Structure 1
Amino acid sequence: MLKFIYDMNANYFPIPENELDRLGSLYDLNLDYTQLQDDFKDLIYLAAKIAGTEVSLINLIDTYTQWTISSHGMHTRQMPREDSICQYTILENNHLQISNLSTDARFKNQSFVRGPLNLRYYFGIPLQLEEGKNIGTLCFLDQATHRMGKERINYLKIIAKEIVTRLKSYSKIDKLETQLSDCEQSKKKVAHDIRSPLSGIIWLSQVLEQQNTDPGESLQYIQMILQSSRTLMELSDEMLSNYRKSHQDSSFNLGMLKEQLLQLYAPQTLKKGVALEVIILQGENFSLRHKSKVMQIVGNLLSNAIKFTPTGGNVYVIFDWQLALGSHILKVTVSDSGVGMSPEQLERFSNAALFSTPGTQKEQGFGFGLPLVSQHVAELQGHLQVHSQLGQGTSFTVILPQEEIGA
Structure 2
Amino acid sequence: MGAATLPANENDRLKELYSTELLDTPHEQEFDDIVKLASNLCNMPISLISLVDTNRQWFKARIGLDVDETNRDISFCSHAILQDDIFEVADASQDDRFSENPLVTEAPSIRYYAGVPLVTSEGNKLGTLCVIDKVPRHLTEKQRFALKVLADNVIKIAELRIKNRHLNYLTQTQKRIISILAHDVRNPLASIKSVIEFRKSDLLDEVEASEMMDTISLQLDSTIDMIANVVNWGEMQLKFDKFSFESVMLHDLVKSISGSEALNAHAKCNKIINDVDKQLVVRTDRRVIEFILRNLMSNANKFTENGTITISAFKQGAFTIIEVKDTGVGMPQEKASQLFLGTGNTTTAGTKNEKGNGLGLLLVKEFIDRMGGSITAESKPGEGTCFRIVL
TM-score by length of 1: 0.46
Whose radius of gyration is greater, 1 or 2? 2
Normalising by structure 2, report the TM-score: 0.47
